[in-house]
Amino acid sequence: MKGRPTGFWGKLERDGSGVVTEWHPLPAHCADVSACTEALLERTVLRCRLAALGGRAGRSSGTAPRRTTSGLFTRRAVDLWLQAHSPVDGPWPAPSRRPRPAHKLVCRA
C-alpha cells in the first residue's frame, strides 16, 4: 500500500531519505509467510529433513500444521511494543516500557 501505515504492518519500504513510502499490511504478510513455507515444504527436501529431526521419517506429514505455525509466528509483529517503537507513527499507543523477554516468561531464572 502506498504512503504511511494506517494499521499494523509487516514490511516497510523507504525512500533514500528514510521516509516510508509503502507498507505491507500484517495479515497479508502472515499469509505470504505461510504460502512461502508451504512451497518450501512441498518442493524441497526440507519437509523430509524436518520429519527426520522430529522422529517422523517415512510417515506422511502434511504441511498445514507447519504452514499455519509459520504464519502465526509472524504475528509477533502485531506486538504493540514492536509497532510503537518503530520509527513510524501509527494507530497504536505510545511506548511505555519494554516487555519482559519471552524466555523469562517460560524459564525460571
**Beta strands per DSSP E along 15-90:** 20-25
Question: Who wins on pLDDT, 21 or 66?
Answer: 21
In a domain, 2, yes or no: no
In a domain, 4, yes or no: no
What residues make up the domain containing 64? 9-106
In a domain, 1, yes or no: no
| pLDDT, tens digit, 9 for 90 and up, residues 67-99 | 666 666 665 656 665 666 565 655 555 555 544
- Give the number of domains in the chain: 1
In a domain, 46, yes or no: yes
Q: Which of 17, 23, 15 is nearest to 77 (CA)?
A: 23
The mean pLDDT of the chain is 70
Grid cell digits, residue 5 = 501505515
In a domain, 97, yes or no: yes
Tell me what pLDDT residue 103 has.
Answer: 45
Q: Residue 109 pLDDT > 50, yes or no? A: no
Tell me what pLDDT residue 106 has.
Answer: 47
In a domain, 13, yes or no: yes
Tell me what pLDDT residue 52 has.
Answer: 78
Q: Report yes or no: 31 and 71 within 8 Å, Cβ to Cβ.
A: yes
